[in-house]
Structure 1
């Protein structure tokens, strides 16, 4: 497995504003789709983490908009892990259109939170093992 995962989808009409551009707030969902697919490809799911008492809220998000995405554009979200996680996990993203034009660069940081104490906790060992076994930094 490479350190990145790509997913592609078409922009739905409901995701656009009056100018037919993707509304900026929808990009957070696109980033979530990318990281969920990245984790799923690794063999980890949010559901499994939550069943094991760990939640993963976003603690920071940074987005740089380069060009707008439009209704019906085929977008590709490229998601990569920035570094091996400890208490936080950090992802970088690039979003391209079908012409391979870079539309967005972004970064999110999520914290591993113990659901019983609502306090930060270390990345679960089963997640670290999968990352260490499959990712080359």
Structure 2
């Protein structure tokens, strides 16, 4: 359901002294995947925020398989796992240019009303895009 791929090159600042990507950077890579997944759906994260919707991460799980290195071209595959209600869940695969699996991940985010700070249902305009 709803797969999107986003590629980018590892920057020097994302690596340690051995040229290996620091594990904490993967959370940012997953965020890039989610943002681009939304953009491919025709929705920007900025427009969601402008409409009073926030999407905080409430759960993050990453399994590391192989190291990503400086200057590697990485691809984050982002897949929606099910129809969103109050939460939205994604599965990810991070691959290098050779197609080797570097990491798998899963995130859960909650739709939150920016004004009240309380959970809310997935906006209809997102559900409508998913129906198309």
- Could you say whether these structures have the same fold, taking a TM-score greater than 0.5 normalized by the shorter chain as the test? yes
Cα offset, 1:93, TM superposition: 0.4
| Coordinate RMSD, CA, aligned | 0.9
Written as runs of structure 1 = structure 2, the 5 A alignment for 1:1-20 is: 3-20=2-19
Moved over 2 A (4+): none
Which residue does the alignment assign to 1:50? 49
Aligned length: 132
Give the 5 Å matches for 1:24-35: 24-35=23-34
Secondary structure of the residue aligned to 1:120 is coil
Q: Distance in 1 between matches of 2:53 and 2:71?
A: 36
- Aligned-pair distance for 1:50? 1.1
Alignment of 1:38-117 (within 5 A): 38-117=37-116
Q: Unmatched 5+ residue regions in structure 2?
A: none
